[in-house]
Structure 1
Amino acid sequence: MADRVEVPTFIQMREANWRFGFKLLSLINEAPLRANRERSPLAVERNVLLSPLGLGITLGRLLPSLSETAQRAVASSLEWPNDGLIEPQSATALLAAQLTGADPQVQPVHAGLYWVEPGTPVKLGRDLSGNRVLESAFQDGAAPPEINRWIAAATGGQIGEALIPGPRRPGPLVVVDATVFEGIWSRAFNPQSSLQAPFTLLDGKQTTVWQMSRTGSFRYYETPGFQAVQLPFGGDGEWSMAVFVPAAGVPLRSFVRNLSDEKWRLWFEQFRMRDGSVTLPRLRLRYGQDLRRALRALGMRSAFTRSEGEESLGEAGLLIDAVDHQTAFTVSETGLTRPSAATGGERFALPLRPGETPFTFSADRPFMFAVVNTYSGFVAMLGTVIDPTQP
């Protein structure tokens, strides 16, 4: 019998970050289909923007306050290794370290807040940078003004309202998680090359969007099922935007549903530098969602307050009433180096393989993207864009 190979915790946590993000993204992308079958008003297609890294940090730091059963459920749903038995402080410290880099211009900004009724005991990990516990009474479902002031300050004003509008029943704990990223490309797109062009929506109709374009050398990969390109941010390319456009006839929802950590690892091993042209919409995405239902569906049911008719587990520990997830992502033509005024990019410089021609990549229909730490492989943000004109 072969010896068992121990996989380093770092690699296990990175792959857990991928799996959790893929499962949550797929679940939320499937929600409009389920809601439509139920004739629910939630049957609305929209852009989705998640931060699996931010959620892992915020929920992981909460584990010491939960019952043992809930701790296992949350850690397992986050896909943490060793059946969720990894020490929470070590796990969250590893995740938080991914947000600390040498280039402050392009670092994702993360903040987490735990809103509890006065007197509610909350035990968190010792590493609380970017996190806060707020004790304030729940009244009429409204958020205390200090929550919005704090989250606006923590995110540089990109998120001004922490909680999704709507009634909020009194509960033991509301978790607020926010992650924002404003990308500055390593190489700028030429604004003079940007133009209004059609973007095909899910239903086949078209809308007009501002498309940026640039030629040059890019990390590129394609299969019969999709095209993908990586666009680096900042001076050293520590972070990059990986954009995946499914082939014509491949529904975006199906593409997301079939994501896995094995495929993701293989794809990123296959990217290589190639000459080509890239066209991408300007993006200013703002997303807010109470993830209670989605996280319960992923297996965190025991960590949440009980719905009517559900049996209590009878264990001591804090229960979560809501997880309000807020994200913001912005990219435009802005970059650290200016492109050629004539071409919108640099000249082709790489030798072509026999029979190979420069590629053409156009995100002119629904696509998926990820903001990836190029050095560690962790995914900070993961999203699907079905209409770039949506806020």
Structure 2
Amino acid sequence: MIKKTKPLIIFLLSLLLTIVGITVQPQPTMSETENMTATQEIVKANNSFGFDVFSLLWKYNQQENIFISPSSMSFALSMLYNGATGETAREMREVLHTRDLDLETINSQNQTIREILTNIDPQVQLAIANSLWLKEGFSFQAEFLNNNQTFYNAEISELDFSSQEAVVTINNWVNENTAGKISEIIDSIDPQEILFLINAVYFKGDWTYQFNPENTSQREFYLTDAQEVSVEMMSQMSDFAYLQNEYFQAISLPYGETENLNMYIFLPVEGSNLDEFISLLNLENWQQWLAQMRPIEISISLPKFKREYEQEMGDILRELGMQRAFSAEQADFDAMTTQPVHVSNVKHKTFIEVNEEGTEAAAVTSIGVRATSVGPIMEVNRPFFYAIGERQTGTILFMGTMLNPTVE
């Protein structure tokens, strides 16, 4: 006899704005060594999972500007994992690369990461918000709710899902926790839905070494189909961590006062392409590339760009091996509720804006490009890969490909 199960909905919202003029009060932090030790297992797992997801997205979307947040997905799925049991839990551990970690370690290390990241720099705003929206009258296991509240600081609310007010309430939370960049995530609620699990990651920071708007000019960006588009290209010269090899040029552009957060740009060498680069993208190579970067005076030109990205992640997660969670017949979430439930969809929605503008841009002195430069030149004028990472823990917050900066 086939059992009827109720669907669960997971939303992942990630916002990234790179501009200037953000100030928050600094908070006490652990030493870099303590940060890395306390989180290294889950960071490796989360980053490996992120590379797996990204590689599959690229496999099916090579003509699109991709932008995802591995951290957002890992947080949300870790919250969901607190409710999984049996083979459903085993599949999730395999996909999330946490097969050797117990639930307590996963939860406690994710908690430490969240606390570190949200207090990382006085000039960077980084917020991680989680919420569980429960159908009124539906029974959930106390430990599932307590774990998510304790370790993920999740807001937990019970709503009348038959009322349009529930839609408004959830969308208002999304709007508030993404600074208005994503105002709506649902337009209605199916009668069978019993839980919305939402993670939002919001980032807004200023460059440590800002681009002078006077150095921004219209230049050509060369697309994969031999076409060209005109883009606003920011330029400056300064000392940045840099790596060049037979595959790519790479540079690290720091944010804020502490330089713990960085945008990493990887530009495949001419004659190569992003497909070849992404085939090399894995945890071991990533760690080696970052370790090999060395500071050098360099002329960097980077296009301004803005991107909104939305992707249903169910098929990707199934292909990676997380199949039972989506099956009405096989899903096992007995640690969440005594009633049969399954995941109906996992929606990932992101936004990024990279530019040189902001409330303090005109008043900040920036070193411009000098014609007498004898150092390397990195002109990002063709498709590239980029990521936002936190240096102390090694966490990758965001990663993406930019094929055409004029497409939002």
Q: Tell me the residue number matched to 2:346.
A: 323
How do 1:57-136 residues align onto structure 2 when only pairs under 5 Å count?
57-82=75-100, 87-122=105-140, 123-124=144-145, 125=147, 126-129=150-153, 131-133=155-157, 135-136=159-160
3-state SS in 2 of match to 1:127: helix
Distance in 2 between the 1:52 and 1:346 partners?
A: 39
Between stretches 46-55 and 126-135, larger displacement belongs to 126-135
Match for 1:338 among 361, 364, 367? 364
Q: Tell me the residue number matched to 2:24.
A: none
Higher relative contact order (CA 8 A, sep 6+): 2
Cα deviation for residue 185 of structure 1 reads: 0.2
Residues 71-105 of structure 1 deviation map (CA, whole Å, 9 limit, x = unaligned): 22223211125166554421321332342224254
Equivalent residue letter for 1:247: V
Alignment check: 8 A CA contact 2:211 2:356 kept: yes
Equivalent residue letter for 2:300: V
1:360 aligns with 2:383: no
Distance in 2 between the 1:11 and 1:196 partners?
A: 43
Distance change (3 Å), C-alpha of 1:46 and 1:119:
farther
Distance in 2 between the 1:65 and 1:232 partners?
A: 38
Structure 1 length as normaliser, TM-score? 0.82
Distance change (3 Å), C-alpha of 1:131 and 1:368:
farther
Distance change (3 Å), C-alpha of 1:332 and 1:118:
same
Structure 2 length as normaliser, TM-score? 0.79
Q: Percent identity?
A: 28
Q: Tell me the residue number matched to 1:213.
A: 235
How do 1:1-391 residues align onto structure 2 when only pairs under 5 Å count?
10-32=39-61, 45-82=63-100, 87-122=105-140, 123-124=144-145, 125=147, 126-129=150-153, 131-133=155-157, 135-137=159-161, 144-163=167-186, 170-306=192-328, 311-312=329-330, 316=334, 318-334=341-357, 338-340=364-366, 343=368, 357-391=374-408
Distance in 2 between the 1:138 and 1:76 partners?
A: 36
Q: Structure 2: any 5+ residue segments left out of the alignment?
A: 1-35
Distance change (3 Å), C-alpha of 1:72 and 1:101:
same
Distance change (3 Å), C-alpha of 1:135 and 1:95:
farther
Alignment check: 8 A CA contact 2:237 2:299 kept: yes
Distance in 2 between the 1:241 and 1:363 partners?
A: 14
Distance change (3 Å), C-alpha of 1:227 and 1:86:
farther
Q: Tell me the residue number matched to 2:13.
A: none
Distance in 2 between the 1:364 and 1:143 partners?
A: 46
Distance in 2 between the 1:29 and 1:304 partners?
A: 23
Alignment check: 8 A CA contact 2:70 2:399 kept: yes
Distance change (3 Å), C-alpha of 1:31 and 1:133:
farther
Equivalent residue letter for 2:266: F
Q: Tell me the residue number matched to 2:11.
A: none
3-state SS in 1 of match to 2:399: strand
Alignment check: 8 A CA contact 2:108 2:151 kept: no
Distance change (3 Å), C-alpha of 1:290 and 1:203:
same
Residues 128-152 of structure 1 deviation map (CA, whole Å, 9 limit, x = unaligned): 4254455442789x98122211111
Residues 218-268 of structure 1 deviation map (CA, whole Å, 9 limit, x = unaligned): 110011100100000011112110111111232213322321111111111
Residues 193-229 of structure 1 deviation map (CA, whole Å, 9 limit, x = unaligned): 1011111222221111111110111110011100100
Distance in 2 between the 1:104 and 1:158 partners?
A: 22
> How many residue pairs end up in the alignment?
359
Q: Tell me the residue number matched to 1:36.
A: none
Alignment check: 8 A CA contact 1:57 1:96 kept: no
Structure 1 vs Structure 2 CA RMSD: 3.0
Residues 33-88 of structure 1 deviation map (CA, whole Å, 9 limit, x = unaligned): 6xxxxxxxxxxx32111111122112212222223322222232111251665544
Q: Tell me the residue number matched to 2:29.
A: none
